[in-house]
């Protein structure tokens, strides 16, 4: 009788601690990335992996995020270098298409809306208060906000949202995927401004030697094929 009562309590969750927290599994270099068929905010279909290029998959925060915008401008300035290195940029935001058309429509690379964070969950990209509370994020945040204010005053840029969809605690992440779908390298950011610079990305590409995955099974992937 006691065992049955305990099983019922376990199924419902401990009232004091609540139901068990859903764990997000991170992926690692050497894993296989199943085909992802996405659509950009401009309605252009894209496939990851790409048969023609390496793919740098960036997970950013929300549309209008000052830190994200300042970071992405460094990629805009070096876009020719990135393309010359055989890299396709794909940037994911946890915002709606409508919001991204306001804030990110001028970016020269593929931008994908993921307001329900399905891709974030699939790739193990998390949210945490440390995105803003980590001391290493404070100066980048201040610098980005000041830059945003300057853009608003000088160019009448759109004011960033105060209460963005998906919240303000998103953490960035970077994934470099080869033409066959194998993950060359990745980075899970520890705060809002913790992501690959262009130089870091190009260095990883230059230093990477195509690993021999011939003995691997695609079942090694922790991502579900959906």
User: Mind listing the pLDDT tens digit for each residue in 66-102?
Assistant: 888 889 999 999 999 999 999 999 999 999 999 999 8
Looking at residue 198, its pLDDT comes to 97
> What's the mean per-residue pLDDT of the chain?
80
Domains, the chain, ranges and CATH?
26-206 (3.40.30.10)
Q: Between these two residues, 211 and 176, which has the higher pLDDT value?
A: 176
Q: Between these two residues, 167 and 81, which has the higher pLDDT value?
A: 81
Burial of 67 (0-12, 13-18, 19+ CB in 10 A): buried
Of the pLDDT bands very low, low, confident and very high (cuts 50, 70, 90), residue 132 is low
Q: CB of 86 within 8 A of CB of 54?
A: yes
Greatest mean pLDDT among 132-136, 140-144, 152-156, 192-196 lies in 192-196
Q: Is the pLDDT of residue 193 over 70?
A: yes
How many whole angstroms separate alpha carbon 211 and alpha carbon 178? Answer: 10
Q: Is the pLDDT of residue 20 over 50?
A: no
How many whole angstroms separate alpha carbon 152 and alpha carbon 162? Answer: 15
Pseudo-torsion of CA 120, 192, 66, 109, nearest 10°? Answer: -50
């Amino acid at each position: 009788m006691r065992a049955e009562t305990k099983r019922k309590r376990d199924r419902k969750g401990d009232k004091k601690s609540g139901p068990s927290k859903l764990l997000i599994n991170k992926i690692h270099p050497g894993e296989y990335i199943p085909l992802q068929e996405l659509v950009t905010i401009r309605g252009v279909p894209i496939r990851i992996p790409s048969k023609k290029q390496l793919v740098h998959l960036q997970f950013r925060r929300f549309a209008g995020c000052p830190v994200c915008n300042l970071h992405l401008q460094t990629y805009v300035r070096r876009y020719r270098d990135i393309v010359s290195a055989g890299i396709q940029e794909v940037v994911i935001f946890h915002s709606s298409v409508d919001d991204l058309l306001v804030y990110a429509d001028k970016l020269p690379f593929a931008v994908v809306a993921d307001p329900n964070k399905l891709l974030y969950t699939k790739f193990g990209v998390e949210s945490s208060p440390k995105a803003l509370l980590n001391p290493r994020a404070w100066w980048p945040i201040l610098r980005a906000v000041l830059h945003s204010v300057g853009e608003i005053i000088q160019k009448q840029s759109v004011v960033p949202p105060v209460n963005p969809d998906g919240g303000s605690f998103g953490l960035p992440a970077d994934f470099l995927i080869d033409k066959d779908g194998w993950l060359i390298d990745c980075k899970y950011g520890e705060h809002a401004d913790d992501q690959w610079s262009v130089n870091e990305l190009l260095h990883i590409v230059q230093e990477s030697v195509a690993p021999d995955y011939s003995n691997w099974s695609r079942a090694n992937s922790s991502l579900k094929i959906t």
